[in-house]
């Protein structure tokens, strides 16, 4: 009986959190003009982001927010369910150009062993590509570069190029347009001081 009462009290709260997280994501998409609904409310989305921040506020409030976030993550309900929605995201790619001391050049890509890990690598590149923070993007690209560098011990510098794949529509494809990579940014790292990113 007690268990049933606890379950009855928990369920509405749990469902409320699931719906709240999904609704927040939906409103964020609408506010940022990513849907067919004509609405622009960047201030609203900024305010929402500020509201959920756990880095500020009174200690008690912060503890409550931390507990809430821990619950959301533990239950797997911290994110919304917009898979390939509202639109299919761009596909991003990172390529390396390793330069040896003798002037020769070697090309490489970030790689993994299995297809399953390949999907995860693709997810990482998507996160890098979608990030608004140039600093965050640079940090992650530097990490990926330093891993790839291990396969090129003779290289003294590397030129990392980050780009996105522009996909044609079916009509354009029939006209002969093919998927093509579009330049987003380039990053140069030196062997001695690889923090000198351009």
Partner 1 sequence: MVERLFPSCSDRWLSILRVGLALQLILYALSIRADWRYLLAGTGRGLVSRDLAEALLSLESAIIPRLGWIVAVGKRIGFSEATVLDLTWYGLALVSLFLLGGLFCRPAAIAAWFLHLCCVKGGGLVTYGVDALTTIGLFYLMLSPLPDRLSLDHLWHKKLSNPQSLGFWRRVLQLHLCVIYFFSGLIKALGGDWWNGINLWRALIRPPFDLIPADVLIRFKYIFPIAGIAIFLLEIGYSCFIWQRQTRQSWLIAILLMHLGIGLSMGMYLFAAVMIVLNLAAFGPGILWRENRPADAESCEAASLA
Q: Which of 9, 75, 105, 180 binds partner 1 (CB under 8 A)?
A: 75
Q: Which of 45, 91, 100, 157 binds partner 1 (CB under 8 A)?
A: 91
Contact between 33 and partner 1 per CB under 8 A: no
Contact between 129 and partner 1 per CB under 8 A: no
Q: Which stretch binds partner 1 (CB under 8 A): 42-50, 59-67, 96-104, 155-163?
A: 59-67
Nearest to 166 by CA among 181, 151, 154: 181
User: What secondary structure does DSSP assign to 128-196, as a single string?
Assistant: HHH-S-HHHHHHHHHHHHHHHHTT-TTEEEEEEEEEEEEPPPHHHHHTT---EEEEEEEEEEESS-TT-
Q: Which stretch binds partner 1 (CB under 8 A): 73-81, 94-102, 155-163, 184-192?
A: 73-81
Q: Is 34 helix (H, G, I), strand (E, B) or coil?
A: coil
Contact between 76 and partner 1 per CB under 8 A: yes
Strands 155-166 and 91-100: antiparallel
Identity of the residue, 8 or 102, whose beta carbon is nearer to partner 1 in the bound complex: 8
Contact between 95 and partner 1 per CB under 8 A: no
Q: Is the peptide bond before 86 cis (omega within 30 degrees of 0)?
A: yes
Kindly state the smallest distance separating residue 145's Cβ from partner 1, in Å. 11
Nearest to 125 by CA among 73, 193, 184: 184
Q: Which of 9, 15, 49, 105 binds partner 1 (CB under 8 A)?
A: 15
Kindly state the smallest distance separating residue 192's Cβ from partner 1, in Å. 17
Please measure the distance between the N-terminal and C-terminal CA atoms of the chain and give it in whole angstroms.
65
Question: In the window 147-176, what residues touch partner 1 (CB under 8 A)?
Answer: 147, 165, 167, 169-170, 173-174
Contact between 195 and partner 1 per CB under 8 A: no
């Amino acid at each position: 009986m007690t268990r049933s009462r606890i379950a009855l009290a928990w369920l509405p709260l749990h469902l409320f959190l699931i719906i709240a997280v999904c609704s927040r994501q939906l409103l964020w998409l609408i506010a940022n003009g990513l849907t067919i609904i004509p609405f622009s409310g960047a201030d609203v989305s900024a305010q929402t982001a500020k509201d959920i921040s756990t880095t500020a506020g009174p200690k008690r409030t912060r503890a409550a927010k931390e507990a809430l976030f821990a619950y959301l993550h533990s239950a797997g309900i911290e994110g919304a369910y917009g898979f390939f929605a509202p639109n299919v995201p761009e596909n991003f790619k990172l390529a390396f150009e390793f330069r040896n001391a003798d002037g020769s050049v070697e090309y490489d890509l970030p790689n993994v062993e299995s297809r399953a890990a390949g999907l995860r690598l693709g997810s990482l590149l998507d996160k890098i590509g979608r990030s608004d923070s140039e600093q965050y993007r640079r940090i992650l690209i530097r990490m990926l570069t330093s891993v790839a560098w291990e396969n090129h011990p003779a290289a003294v510098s590397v030129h990392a190029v980050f780009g996105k794949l522009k996909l044609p529509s079916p009509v354009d494809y029939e006209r002969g347009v093919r998927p093509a990579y579009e330049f987003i940014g380039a990053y140069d790292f030196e062997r001695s001081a690889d923090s000198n990113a351009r």
